[in-house]
Chains A and B, each alone.
Chain A
Amino acid sequence: MSEPINPDKYDPIDLGAALERIGGDASFLIELLDIYFREYTEKRRLLEEAIARQDFGEVSELGHSLKGASANLSLTRLHKAALSLEMAGRERKIHQVQEAADVLENEIANLKTYLEMHPLAGSV
């Protein structure tokens, strides 16, 4: 899979690509993002537990799963953060794992802000 050259300069979501994947249905995208946030909350809890007991396998799996979900919704920056988490987990580096988890949390906040400023309902 080709990684964006510098995802930092992208919006948290590539709306065009995300909508194209679901036939341009903005209300469906809202529904999917809702699921995404709920999934994230659940995974965040599991991630903190996994970090606490240094379960790198679980960290890596959670990263992998978040990476997939982010890619599906074209959440470019979250995708990158989840990939870092997966890699850090695989390399069993607790410091990097913690760092990636923090970036992930920031990116979630970024996405929420972005969505508040760019309401999807009006984009159809």
Chain B
Amino acid sequence: MKILIAEDDPISSKILQKNLENWDYDTVLARNGAAAWQALQDENLRLAILDWMMPGMDGVEVCRKIRRRRRFKYTYIILLSAKDRKQDIIAGLSSGADDYMTKPVNFLELRARLKAGRRIIDLEDKLLLAQKQLKDIASRDSLTRIWNRAEITKFLGEELERGQREKKAVGVIMLDVDHFKSINDFYGHAIGDQALLQVVSRLKKKVRKSDKIGRYGGDEIIIVLPNCGLPDIRKIGERLRLAVTNRGISAKPDTIPITISAGCATSDLWEMADTDKLVKAADLALLSAKEQGRNRVVVAGEDLDLRKENRNVRTH
């Protein structure tokens, strides 16, 4: 583990360094407060030993600066000082230090105190990991593990903003499995789930890394394609359709033939596209694909004149 030694006295710094390296820490040295602050911009530097008295910015000031920053992993700070009056200790800890030691340092004690610091850092890491896992669970569909509706809608919004800044179109493909209800009714929901998983897996193999797939509801799947405008989206839609339909889904002993319908829309259809407009247009195109006999791709603005479409799309 990396540790910062901020100490202006070269002897003190060397002794600390030698001991810490003996205990298998990787040391980073700073001779004044400004250099310490600079070094602490490295997020992997989680442990810091700061001398109180340093030229320029002192240890207490560095402590305060560290505690003021947000969105940084926790830095465990041990403040060192020759000051050993009660009020000095209180002032040191109040500035944000986790621990306080008087000089000359007793190294057995420092070693034990560093272990306590590592426990805090480990706890924070576990907490951050749990938070990340929870966030992931909350952002994904529990069956298919693709993004859930809220997350994919958020992503679409972000991509639209970026597309506007960078003058690039964003595409949306809304697709669903043809006669999915019949598969569920005939083979049961377990097979229906398997079919959906197979479809997702085939789609995933055919999209670009920058594209995102989400479950919009039921068997409806939405794909957000950054940097994808009108000329390209049809090709992609067709590619996806073929990837899904070229072989059936195995439900032993049967193989269920499977097809999908897809509705495509791209943001370059409007001067100012928004999430709602795009999703609605893709939804209308999907509806049109169904009406035209399924197993096909319909592109809004090309196969479907949106100005003539004033019917309400399903609100999910």
Q: Which residues of A contact B (CB under 8 A)?
A: 1, 21-23, 25, 28, 31-32, 35-36, 39, 64-65, 67-69, 71-74
Whole-angstrom distance from the CB of A58 to the nearest CB of chain B?
13
Residues in chain A near residue B11, CB distance under 8 A: 32, 35-36, 39, 69, 72-73
Q: Is the CB of A69 within 8 A of B9?
A: yes
Q: Is the CB of B18 within 8 A of A25?
A: yes
Q: How many residues of B contact A (CB 8 A)?
A: 17
Contacts A1-B82, A35-B11, A64-B82 hold; do A72 and B19 have CB atoms under 8 A apart? no
Binds A, one of B101-109, B208-216, B279-287: B101-109
Contacts A21-B104, A23-B18, A28-B18 hold; do A68 and B10 have CB atoms under 8 A apart? no
Residues in chain B near residue A65, CB distance under 8 A: 9
Q: Is the CB of B84 within 8 A of A1?
A: yes
In the complex, A65 Cα to B12 Cα: how many Å?
A: 11
Asked if B182 lies at the interface with its beta carbon under 8 angstroms from chain A, I say: no
Whole-angstrom distance from the CB of B110 to the nearest CB of chain A?
10
Q: Is the CB of B18 within 8 A of A68?
A: no
Contact with A along B1-34 (1 / 0, CB 8 A): 0000000011110110011001000000000000
Closest to B55 in A: A61
Most buried by B among A21, A67, A68, A69: A68
Residues in chain B near residue A73, CB distance under 8 A: 11
Q: Is the CB of A68 within 8 A of B12?
A: yes
In the complex, A69 Cα to B104 Cα: how many Å?
A: 9
In the complex, A81 Cα to B103 Cα: how many Å?
A: 17
In the complex, A22 Cα to B19 Cα: how many Å?
A: 7
What would 23 A/B residue contacts be, using CB atoms closer than 8 Å?
A: A1-B102, A21-B105, A21-B107, A22-B15, A22-B18, A22-B19, A23-B18, A23-B22, A31-B14, A32-B15, A35-B10, A36-B11, A39-B11, A65-B9, A67-B82, A68-B12, A68-B104, A69-B9, A72-B9, A72-B11, A72-B12, A72-B104, A73-B11
Whole-angstrom distance from the CB of B22 to the nearest CB of chain A?
6
Contacts A21-B104, A39-B10 hold; do A68 and B15 have CB atoms under 8 A apart? no
Contact with A along B64-103 (1 / 0, CB 8 A): 0000000000000000001010000000000000000011
Residues in chain A near residue B15, CB distance under 8 A: 21-22, 32, 72
In the complex, A32 Cα to B10 Cα: how many Å?
A: 9
In the complex, A21 Cα to B12 Cα: how many Å?
A: 11
In the complex, A31 Cα to B17 Cα: how many Å?
A: 14
Residues in chain A near residue B102, CB distance under 8 A: 1
In the complex, A9 Cα to B264 Cα: how many Å?
A: 93
Most buried by A among B82, B103, B104: B104
In the complex, A35 Cα to B15 Cα: how many Å?
A: 12
Q: Is the CB of B104 within 8 A of A71?
A: yes
Most buried by A among B10, B11, B14, B19: B11
Closest to A66 in B: B9
In the complex, A39 Cα to B18 Cα: how many Å?
A: 19
In the complex, A39 Cα to B10 Cα: how many Å?
A: 9
Whole-angstrom distance from the CB of A101 to the nearest CB of chain B?
20
Asked if B53 lies at the interface with its beta carbon under 8 angstroms from chain A, I say: yes
Whole-angstrom distance from the CB of B236 to the nearest CB of chain A?
65
Q: Is the CB of A68 within 8 A of B82?
A: yes
Residues in chain A near residue B103, CB distance under 8 A: 68, 71-72
Whole-angstrom distance from the CB of A8 to the nearest CB of chain B?
20
Whole-angstrom distance from the CB of A105 to the nearest CB of chain B?
19
Whole-angstrom distance from the CB of A88 to the nearest CB of chain B?
17
Residues in chain B near residue A67, CB distance under 8 A: 82
In the complex, A84 Cα to B193 Cα: how many Å?
A: 83
Closest to B80 in A: A68
Residues in chain B near residue A68, CB distance under 8 A: 9, 12, 82, 103-104
Residues in chain B near residue A28, CB distance under 8 A: 18
Q: 5 closest pairs, A vs B, by CB? A: A71-B104, A69-B11, A72-B104, A72-B11, A72-B12
Closest to B83 in A: A1
In the complex, A22 Cα to B47 Cα: how many Å?
A: 21
Residues in chain A near residue B22, CB distance under 8 A: 23
